Structures are given as structure tokens and as C-alpha cells.
């Protein structure tokens, strides 16, 4: 017993010291409790109050993120017995997540079908805060146990968000599909983790024994275990062949939830991929599994499958679902470079993609209220009746396509530049194929994105009904998002220097 006391005291001292670098996550934990108690105390009248508390709390978390950026600098700090890693890039990803989450929390109340739900939105805010905490942990996880727990935390919250409108059969079906696919991916990943632990005797990715132990194992066994773990991470990234759940879930979920699922979990998953790959990339002896080859093949197939499938869609949410799959494949190009230039390009690309995708889905909500449908063909002739929203929609779609002079163009240019720089150095044929595929699928994306402006402005309708009053909040934020995308396209250094 006396021998244990110094050990326990040492552990407690270390934990208290690590708390200094865990400020944003502590704030999120407290925020979750406060929002939950607010809901319990005020019942059905708590919706607006919960919204104010949640949004105010997220602003506080953003300020904590910025303080942590100055505190950490360029250092890598391991927390809680090497369970989590605090560094600059993970903080950048968390800052993007929290900024996007703030906008999404506001957006929840602007979607009429979701806001009119009998349960109201109080529970939605507490679930979202829990999901954001899980996303934070995903970007920091460097132990296979913390990786699994973070993914499960986000997954459970996501299941609840998708099926929140339980009276809607389509939403319930989407939630069920998401749970089934998620449970399968989780079980496969857990099996892979158990194999890796069996091979190495450690769960810590940065433990020297982890990579060293895998080097001693048969390459086929190591490859099998790593693929199983990547299945769990790939479920969150929704790259091919783990994308089957995306179209049905995105279409069936309430539009703000679709905006949530298609943006912030992807950022956290990319942060997790970087953490997972780093121990293997910094080990000169590692030869058993070529991550560059596997991720290049996945990226090429994902870009092709996502963009070509989107061409055949008329439902706008389903189109944007396949589009998000294509964007995942494109972002994998930056990962495959395994350079700081590539990581900066990835962070920029994800930041502008998130802004544009949330803006696009906000405008889907805007026009769905007008037409009563999510079919792009119902948008005919609405461009002249709702010019401000329609022009914003076009600017956002131009950015998603990656055309000048928007931030999307700069993001794609940075990714292409990072990939081509590495290709010039090592002449890897897969990097060349990635670049060619990325360029061709960008052209393909024009064919489905153009459907929206084509119907808004170039096709006429016999409907002479008067314009319907719409949410001024959505329009204001759509205008702000459009201006941001154009400004970042003209002055990209504003964001690049920060990253």
C-alpha cells in the first residue's frame, strides 16, 4: 500500500498538470452539463435558453482554442499517460470544428420541420455538445483505446441526431441504417485494435514498441489488422467502399443534421488519420504496409465514384451527399503527400469546404420551404423571384466546384501544388494519377452543380405564385458566407498565414 501512494500521487500530479492543456475540452464537458440541467429545469420552455447557453459556451470554447494555440506553439504535448496529443495542427482542426459548430447550432432553429418537432430542440443542443467533445478527442487521440472511445462517442451522438425526428419514417429509417453500418464498422475496428494490441503489447501509437512490434510480425497479419482499423476511421470519412450509408442517411436526416454530418466529423476524422499515420511515417524501418499506395487507390476510386454518382442525382441533398464523398477523395490527396505543405493545404481545403457546404445546405432549407420539395427540378424560375439567395447559391457552388475567384479554387490549387511538389521529388506514379483524377473529377462536378443555377435562372416555370416569406437569418448568413468565400479567394493569405 505504501508503495502505491507515491505512484498515485505522481499520477494525480501529472493529471492536474495536463489539465492546463485541456481547457477547451473541460469547457465542453461543463457546457454539456449546463445545457442538460437547463433543459431539465425549464422543460419545454428551455429551447431558446439552451440555444443561448450552447452558442455562448461554444464561443468560450473557441476563445480557449485560440489561447491554446499561443500556449502550445509548435510543441507536441502528450496528455494523460500518452492517451492524447496536443499540437498545432490538432488545435487548428478543433478551431475549424468549433467555428462550424457555432454556425450549425444557430442553423438548427432556422429549419422549420426540425424546429417544429414536438420534442423541441433542447435535447438536440446537448447531444450536439457531446458530439463536439467527441470530435475534439478524435483530433487528439493517439492511443487505440482513446481512438475507439472518441469514435464511439461521436457515433452514438450522430445516431441520435439522425433519428431525432422520430415521427418521420424516412428519418427513422436513415437512423436505423446509420446505426447498423456504424455498429458493423465499430466491431471491425475493435477487432483490428485487438490484433494490433496482441502483436505489440501496447495500445499507445507513439510507444516505440508499437511500430517495432509490428515490424516483427508477418506482413500479411499486420496489413489485415491495419485495414480493419482503417475501416472504422473510413466510416467517419465515408470514403469508398465505406460510403454506402451516406446518401440515404444524408437524405433522410433533417437538413441541419445533414450539414453537421457532412462537415465536422470529416475534419475530426482527418485529424485522427494524421495521428494514426505519424508513428509509421517517422519510423525509417517501416515497410510492411504502404499507406501512400492504399490511400492513393482509395482517393482515386472515391473521387470517381462520388462525382459520377452525383451527376445522376436530382435530389439536392442526395447530390450534395455524393459530392461530399468526392470531396473526401480529393482531401485524401493532401494526406498522401505526407508533408507539412500538404497538411496546410488540407486544413485550408477543409475549412473552406465546411463553410461552403453549410451554406449550400442552408439554402437547400431556404428553397425547400418555397417548393415543398428537395428535387432540383422544382427550382425552375426561382432565381428571379429570390435573386439574393439564388446568387449566393451560385457563388457557394462555384466554390465547391473549385472555380476562380473563390476560396474553393485556392483550396484545390493548394492541394494540387502540394501533390505536384512531392511528385517532382520522387516521381511516384500514384501521385500523378491522383492529380489527373482530381482535375478530371473537378470537371465532372460541374455537370451536377450546374443543375441548380440552370434551373434557377435559365428554365422557366408556369407557377405565378407570389414569393413566400423566408428566414431572414438564412439569407443573411448565406450572404456572409458568399462574401467570405470570395474574399478568401482573392486574399487567401488571410487564412493560410493563420494555418
pLDDT band for position 163 (cuts 50, 70, 90): confident
- For CA atoms 31, 37, 40, 43, the dihedral sign is negative
Q: What pLDDT is stored for residue 460 in this prediction?
A: 72
Q: Decide if pLDDT at 1 tops 60.
A: no
Average pLDDT, the chain: 86
Q: What pLDDT is stored for residue 5 in this prediction?
A: 67
Q: What pLDDT is stored for residue 175 in this prediction?
A: 77
For the CA atoms of 314, 316, 319, 320, the dihedral, rounded to the nearest 10 degrees, stands at 170
Q: Decide if pLDDT at 50 tops 80.
A: yes
The percent of residues in the chain predicted with pLDDT above 70, rounded, is: 94
Residue 393 has φ and ψ, to the nearest 5°, of -60, -45
Question: Does the pTM of the predicted model rise above 0.85?
Answer: yes
Angle, vertex CA 494, rays to CA 491 and CA 497, nearest 5: 130
Q: How many residues appear in the chain?
A: 499
User: Do the Cβ atoms of 258 and 333 come closer than 8 Å?
Assistant: no
Higher pLDDT among residues 411 and 497, named by residue: 411
Q: What pLDDT is stored for residue 417 in this prediction?
A: 92
pLDDT digits (tens, 9 = 90+) for 384-402: 888 899 999 999 999 999 8
> What would the grid cell of residue 245 be?
450509408
pLDDT band for position 63 (cuts 50, 70, 90): very high
Spatial distance between the Cα atoms of 236 and 241, rounded to a whole number of angstroms: 12
Q: What pLDDT is stored for residue 347 in this prediction?
A: 92
Q: Which residues contact 366 (CB under 8 A, 6 or more apart)?
A: 386, 389, 470, 471, 474, 475, 478
Spatial distance between the Cα atoms of 453 and 379, rounded to a whole number of angstroms: 9
Q: What pLDDT is stored for residue 300 in this prediction?
A: 93
Higher pLDDT among residues 342 and 172, named by residue: 342
CA-atom Rg of the chain in angstroms: 23
* Residue 489 Cα to chain centre, angstroms: 21
Centre a 10 Å sphere on the Cβ of residue 439 and count the other Cβ atoms it contains. Answer: 12
- In the DSSP assignment, the letter for residue 456 is I
Residue 119 has φ and ψ, to the nearest 5°, of -80, -5
Amino acid at each position: 500500500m505504501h508503495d502505491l501512494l507515491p505512484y498515485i500521487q505522481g499520477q494525480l500530479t501529472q493529471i492536474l498538470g495536463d489539465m492546463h492543456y485541456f481547457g477547451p475540452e473541460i469547457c465542453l464537458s461543463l457546457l454539456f452539463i449546463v445545457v442538460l440541467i437547463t433543459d431539465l429545469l425549464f422543460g419545454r420552455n428551455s429551447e431558446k435558453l439552451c440555444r443561448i447557453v450552447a452558442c455562448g459556451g461554444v464561443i468560450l470554447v473557441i476563445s480557449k482554442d485560440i489561447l491554446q494555440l499561443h500556449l502550445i506553439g509548435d510543441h507536441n504535448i502528450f496528455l494523460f499517460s500518452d492517451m492524447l496529443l496536443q499540437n498545432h495542427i490538432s488545435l487548428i482542426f478543433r478551431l475549424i470544428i468549433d467555428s462550424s459548430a457555432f454556425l450549425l447550432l444557430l442553423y438548427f432553429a432556422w429549419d422549420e420541420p426540425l424546429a417544429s418537432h414536438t420534442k423541441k430542440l433542447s435535447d438536440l443542443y446537448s447531444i450536439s455538445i457531446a458530439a463536439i467533445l467527441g470530435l475534439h478527442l478524435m483530433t487528439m487521440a493517439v492511443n487505440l483505446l482513446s481512438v475507439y472511445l472518441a469514435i464511439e462517442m461521436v457515433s452514438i451522438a450522430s445516431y441520435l441526431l439522425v433519428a431525432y425526428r422520430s415521427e418521420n419514417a424516412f428519418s427513422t429509417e436513415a437512423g436505423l441504417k446509420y446505426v447498423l453500418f456504424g455498429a458493423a464498422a465499430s466491431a471491425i475496428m475493435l477487432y483490428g485494435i485487438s490484433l494490433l494490441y496482441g502483436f505489440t503489447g501496447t495500445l499507445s501509437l507513439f510507444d516505440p514498441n508499437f511500430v517495432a512490434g509490428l515490424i516483427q510480425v508477418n506482413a500479411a497479419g499486420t496489413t489485415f489488422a491495419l485495414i480493419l482499423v482503417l475501416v472504422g476511421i473510413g466510416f467517419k470519412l465515408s470514403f469508398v467502399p465505406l460510403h454506402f450509408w451516406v446518401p440515404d442517411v444524408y437524405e433522410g436526416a433533417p437538413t441541419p443534421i445533414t450539414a453537421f454530418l457532412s462537415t465536422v466529423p470529416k475534419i475530426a476524422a482527418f485529424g485522427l488519420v494524421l495521428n494514426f499515420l505519424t508513428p509509421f511515417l517517422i519510423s525509417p524501418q517501416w515497410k510492411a504496409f504502404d499507406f501512400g499506395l492504399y490511400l492513393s487507390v482509395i482517393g482515386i476510386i472515391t473521387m470517381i465514384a462520388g462525382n459520377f454518382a452525383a451527376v445522376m442525382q436530382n435530389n439536392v441533398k442526395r447530390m450534395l451527399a455524393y459530392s461530399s464523398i468526392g470531396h473526401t477523395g480529393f482531401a485524401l490527396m493532401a494526406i498522401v503527400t505526407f508533408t507539412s505543405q500538404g497538411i496546410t493545404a488540407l486544413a485550408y481545403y477543409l475549412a473552406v469546404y465546411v463553410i461552403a457546404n453549410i451554406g449550400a445546405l442552408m439554402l437547400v432549407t431556404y428553397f425547400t420551404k418555397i417548393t415543398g420539395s428537395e428535387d432540383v427540378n422544382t427550382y425552375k424560375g426561382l432565381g428571379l423571384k429570390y435573386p439574393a439567395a439564388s446568387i449566393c447559391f451560385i457563388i457557394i457552388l462555384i466554390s465547391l466546384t473549385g472555380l476562380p475567384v473563390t476560396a474553393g479554387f485556392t483550396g484545390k490549387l493548394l492541394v494540387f501544388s502540394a501533390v505536384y511538389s512531392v511528385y517532382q521529388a520522387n516521381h511516384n506514379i500514384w501521385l500523378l494519377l491522383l492529380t489527373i483524377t482530381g482535375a478530371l473529377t473537378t470537371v465532372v462536378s460541374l455537370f451536377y452543380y450546374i443543375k441548380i443555377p440552370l434551373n434557377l435562372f435559365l428554365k422557366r416555370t408556369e407557377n405565378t405564385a407570389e414569393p413566400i416569406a423566408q428566414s431572414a437569418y438564412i439569407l443573411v448568413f448565406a450572404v456572409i458566407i458568399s462574401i467570405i468565400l470570395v474574399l478568401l479567394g482573392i486574399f487567401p493569405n488571410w487564412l493560410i498565414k493563420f494555418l
